[in-house]
Amino acid sequence: MTIRKSTPQDLNTIMEIYAYARACMKESGNPNQWFDNHPPKHLIEADIDAGHSYVCTNESEVSAVFYFHIEAEPTYNKINGQWLNDEPYGVIHRIARGPLGKGAGAYAINWCFAQHPNIRIDTHKDNIPMLLLLKRLGFKYCGIIKIENGDERMAFQIANSHNT
C-alpha cells in the first residue's frame, strides 16, 4: 500500500469510496454521521486543490481517501474536555475506504503520525469501527467538540511523549 496526494483524476473514484463508506456506516449502525451527501463533491475538490487530500493505493488502484493537514482546526478550539497538549497538530478528516481498502485506515493514520508527532481526529459516537481503530492505535479520548452544524463529535489525540 502506498499513499500519494489526490489528483482531479481521482475524483470519481474518491466519490465512489465515500458512497461505499456511507453504506457501510449505515449497515454498522451509524446512519447519522455522513447522511446521504457528505462529504459533498465541492469539498473534496477544494481538498484536492489545496493539496490536503490523499489516497491509499493498492498497486494502481485507489482503495481509500483521507484529508490531512497540519493546521489549527477551528472546531477544535472549544472542547468539553481537554486536549493532551497545545502544540501544533495535524488534523485527519474524511477518512474512508472502499471495498479493496481493508487495513487502509490504520495505514493512513500511521502515515499521518509519521508526518507529524501530534495528531487530532474526531468521529461520531456511533462510528464503532473508527472508535475501535483509534483505541487500537493508541489515541486518547479528549472530550466532545461541536462541528460547524452543531453536531457533537468525540475528539481524540495522539502525541509523541515529548509533546504531552
Q: What is the pLDDT of residues 52-65, one digit of tens each?
A: 999 999 888 999 99
Nearest to 64 by CA among 28, 110, 27: 110
Domains contained in the chain, CATH given: 2-163 (3.40.630.30)
- In the numeric block, which cell numbers belong to residue 44? 473534496
Q: How confident is the model at residue 162 (pLDDT cuts 50, 70, 90)?
A: very low
Q: Are the C-beta atoms of 52 and 91 separated by less than 8 Å?
A: no
What is residue 161's predicted lDDT score, i.e. its pLDDT? 60
pLDDT higher for 29 or 131? 131
Q: How confident is the model at residue 160 (pLDDT cuts 50, 70, 90)?
A: confident
DSSP string, 25-39: HHHTT--SSSTTT-S
What is residue 77's predicted lDDT score, i.e. its pLDDT? 96
Overall average pLDDT of the 19-38 stretch: 85
Q: Would strands 61-70 and 90-97 be described as parallel, antiparallel, or unpaired?
A: antiparallel
Percentage of the residues of the chain whose pLDDT score is greater than 70: 98
What is the pTM (predicted TM-score) of this model?
Answer: 0.93
Percentage of the residues of the chain whose pLDDT score is greater than 90: 82
What is residue 93's predicted lDDT score, i.e. its pLDDT? 96
What is residue 36's predicted lDDT score, i.e. its pLDDT? 74
Nearest to 43 by CA among 72, 3, 14, 20: 14
Give the tens place of pLDDT for each residue, 80-109: 999 999 999 999 999 999 998 889 999 999
What is residue 163's predicted lDDT score, i.e. its pLDDT? 41
Owner of C-alpha cell 481509500: 64
Owner of C-alpha cell 468525540: 154
